[in-house]
C-alpha cells in the first residue's frame, strides 16, 4: 500500500486522464501533491525536467502526460507524436530513477498490440506482429516507454509499472471533431447536428470496426488499485473486457444526445484496427473490475460537454493528457 502522506507527482494533471487520477487520489486520502501545468513545465525539455525532479523529489509518480489524438491527428502529425512522447517519457523516467522515486506508473495504450493480434489481446501479444499503420509512431513511443520501465527495473531496481488502458472517455475530454478520439468527436458531431436540424451525419469508415471503451474514472480507480497491489515489470491491461461496433457506438451516442436523423458512413475513410478488445484476466484476478456502464458514462460525458460549452476544448493536439 502506498503511504498516503508522501509526495505525489501527477504528470499531465490538466488532461482527461491526469485530472481523473488527481480526483481519485484525493478521494483515497492523498493530500501531498506536486503539480505543474504545461506552461510551468515542458516535459520535453530535459533540463527543465531534471531541475523539477531535483527540486521536488516526489515519492510517487503517475506518468499521464502524453501527446494523444485520433486517426486524423496521428496521420497528420506522426513526427510530433513519436518525438514528443519519446521525449516526455525519457525525461520523466530517467529523472524518476535518478531521484529514487519509490514507485512510478507509466500509462501506455492498447495500440501497442499488433494490428491483427488475436482477440481479446493478452499482454504477451506485445511485439508479436505489425502495428496498425495509422498510429504506429504513437504506438512505438509507448512500447519504448514500456521497455524503458522494464530495463530500469532490471538494471537499477526501480519499481516502475506499466499499464495498458483501452479507449478512454469521460470528463475533461477533447471534443475537437478532427483531432479527438472517436467517442468525444461523435458527441460533438451529433450534438451540432441536432441543434442545426441536419437530416444526416456522416461518420468515418464502415462502422464495422469494434472497440472497447472505459470511463476515465474507472481507469483512475484501476491505476490507484495497481499502485497499491501490483509491482511486476510485466505490463497489465486495463479495460472492461467488452466491446461493440463503431456503428453501435454511433447509434448509442445519437440516442443519448437526442439526434434522430440518418447516420451514413464514408467508406473512403480508414477504420483503423479491425478490432481492439483487451484481455483483462490479469487485472480481474487481482480483484479489480470496472463499475461505470458505457451508456451511463456517455450520458455523464455529454453533460460535461454541455457544461464546457459547445466549442471544442482546443483545435491543437495537447501535451497535457
Q: What contacts 197, CB < 8 A, 6 or more positions away? A: none
- 28 annotated as belonging to a binding site for a ligand: no
- 164 annotated as belonging to a binding site for a ligand: no
- 100 annotated as belonging to a binding site for a ligand: no
- 109 annotated as belonging to a binding site for a ligand: yes
**Beta bridge partner(s), residue 210:** 245, 275
- 189 annotated as belonging to a binding site for a ligand: yes
- Using CA atoms, how far apart are residues 54 and 33, in angstroms rounded to an integer? 16
Q: Which of 9, 113, 138, 230 is catalytic?
A: 138
The strand pair at 244-245 and 210-211 is best described as: antiparallel
- 215 annotated as belonging to a binding site for a ligand: no
**Can you read off the three cell numbers belonging to residue 243?**
466491446
DSSP 252-312: HHHHHHT--SEEEEETTS---SSEE-B--HHHHHHT----S-HHHHHHHHHHHHHHH-SS-
Location of C-alpha cell 506552461: 39
- 271 annotated as belonging to a binding site for a ligand: yes
Task: Please say if 230 is a catalytic residue.
Answer: no
- 288 annotated as belonging to a binding site for a ligand: no
**Can you read off the three cell numbers belonging to residue 55?**
527540486
- 108 annotated as belonging to a binding site for a ligand: yes
Q: Which residues are annotated as a binding site for NADP(+)?
A: 12-18, 107-110, 142, 165-168, 181
Q: Which residues are annotated as a binding site for substrate?
A: 189, 204, 211, 271
- Residues with a catalytic annotation lie at 138
Q: Which residues are annotated as a binding site?
A: 12-18, 107-110, 142, 165-168, 181, 189, 204, 211, 271
Amino acid at each position: 500500500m502506498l503511504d498516503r502522506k508522501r509526495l505525489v507527482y501527477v504528470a499531465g494533471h490538466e488532461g482527461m486522464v491526469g485530472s481523473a487520477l488527481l480526483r481519485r487520489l484525493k478521494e483515497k486520502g492523498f493530500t501531498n501533491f506536486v503539480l505543474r501545468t504545461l506552461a510551468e513545465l515542458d516535459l520535453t525539455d530535459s533540463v527543465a525536467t531534471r531541475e523539477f525532479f531535483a527540486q521536488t523529489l516526489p515519492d510517487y509518480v503517475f506518468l499521464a502526460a502524453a501527446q494523444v489524438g485520433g486517426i486524423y491527428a496521428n496521420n497528420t502529425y506522426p513526427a510530433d507524436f513519436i518525438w514528443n512522447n519519446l521525449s516526455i517519457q525519457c525525461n520523466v523516467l530517467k529523472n524518476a530513477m535518478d531521484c529514487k522515486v519509490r514507485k512510478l506508473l507509466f500509462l501506455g495504450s492498447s495500440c501497442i498490440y499488433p494490428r491483427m493480434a488475436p482477440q481479446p489481446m493478452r499482454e504477451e501479444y506485445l511485439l508479436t506482429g505489425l502495428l496498425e499503420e495509422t498510429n504506429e509512431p504513437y504506438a512505438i513511443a509507448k512500447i519504448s516507454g514500456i521497455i524503458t520501465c522494464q530495463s530500469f527495473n532490471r538494471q537499477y531496481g526501480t519499481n516502475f509499472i506499466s499499464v495498458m488502458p483501452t479507449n478512454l472517455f469521460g470528463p475533461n475530454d477533447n471534443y475537437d471533431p478532427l483531432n479527438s478520439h472517436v467517442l468525444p468527436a461523435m458527441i460533438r458531431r451529433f450534438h451540432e447536428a441536432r441543434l442545426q436540424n441536419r437530416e444526416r451525419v456522416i461518420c468515418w469508415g464502415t462502422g464495422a470496426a469494434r472497440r472497447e471503451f472505459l470511463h476515465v474514472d474507472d481507469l483512475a480507480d484501476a491505476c490507484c488499485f495497481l499502485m497499491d497491489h501490483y509491482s511486476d515489470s510485466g505490463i497489465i491491461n486495463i479495460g472492461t473486457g467488452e466491446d461493440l461496433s463503431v456503428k453501435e457506438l454511433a447509434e448509442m451516442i445519437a440516442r443519448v444526445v437526442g439526434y434522430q436523423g440518418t447516420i451514413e458512413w464514408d467508406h473512403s475513410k480508414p477504420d483503423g484496427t479491425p478490432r481492439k478488445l483487451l484481455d483483462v484476466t490479469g487485472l480481474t484476478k487481482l480483484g479489480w473490475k470496472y463499475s461505470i456502464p458505457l451508456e451511463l458514462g456517455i450520458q455523464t460525458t455529454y453533460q460535461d460537454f454541455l457544461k464546457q460549452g459547445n466549442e471544442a476544448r482546443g483545435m491543437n493536439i495537447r501535451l497535457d493528457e
